[in-house]
A = this chain, B = another copy of it.
């Protein structure tokens, strides 16, 4: 065992973190394995002793947000979530900070189109991230029989609002989209 225990896992995680950021910024097709490895401080040849293919790396990178920074999955949320979590997450999700920090963004926004075109592996990862997010909203919904509905709709509103804001290329309109989405999301969940 010529290398310290845990070495392989640490390097693997640094590749995933590098991939997560690059895929967020440029999307699946525009990121090369060279880019990912160089960004992680390695060279391309080593890649295939960590992952079977680029597709497998992509799926793991999408889900990596769930295991990498549990306390700050989204920029702006590194504070206490024990009280009022839904309201705080809606606000943070549609905040300036999350809007601007694309590399650290929630993959539900940045990878929406690529996930829709992806294989089972990516879509499973994508679904797990959504379920994680929607579950918070569901738990914060008072009316029992509307929990699933509200959780999914609020998630759709947050993801759609940020996606549209990032796409229109007009800061003023982007801010109005985010503000409108935030207000509507809090209204839907009764979290004003």
Query: Chain A residues in contact with chain B, CB under 8 A?
Result: 25-30, 102, 108-118, 120, 122-124, 126-127, 130, 148-161, 163-164, 166-170, 173, 176-177, 179-181, 183-184, 187-188
Q: Do most interface residues of chain A lie in helix, strand or loop, or is the interface mixed? A: helix
Q: What is the total number of copies of this protein in its complex?
A: 2
Question: How close is A166's CB to chain B, nearest CB, in angstroms?
Answer: 4
Q: Are A124 and B184 in contact (CB under 8 A)?
A: no
Tell me the bound Cα distance from A110 to B190 in angstroms: 31
In the complex, which of the residues B108, B149, B169 contacts A180, with contact meaning CB atoms closer than 8 Å?
A: B149
Tell me the bound Cα distance from A156 to B130 in angstroms: 16
Tell me the bound Cα distance from A161 to B159 in angstroms: 8
In this complex, what residue of B is CB-closest to A161? Answer: B156
What B residues does A118 contact at CB under 8 A?
169
Q: Are A153 and B181 in contact (CB under 8 A)?
A: yes
Q: Are B113 and A27 in contact (CB under 8 A)?
A: yes
Tell me the bound Cα distance from A126 to B188 in angstroms: 27
Question: How close is A11's CB to chain B, nearest CB, in angstroms?
Answer: 28
In the complex, which of the residues B29, B123, B126, B163 contacts A159, with contact meaning CB atoms closer than 8 Å?
A: B163
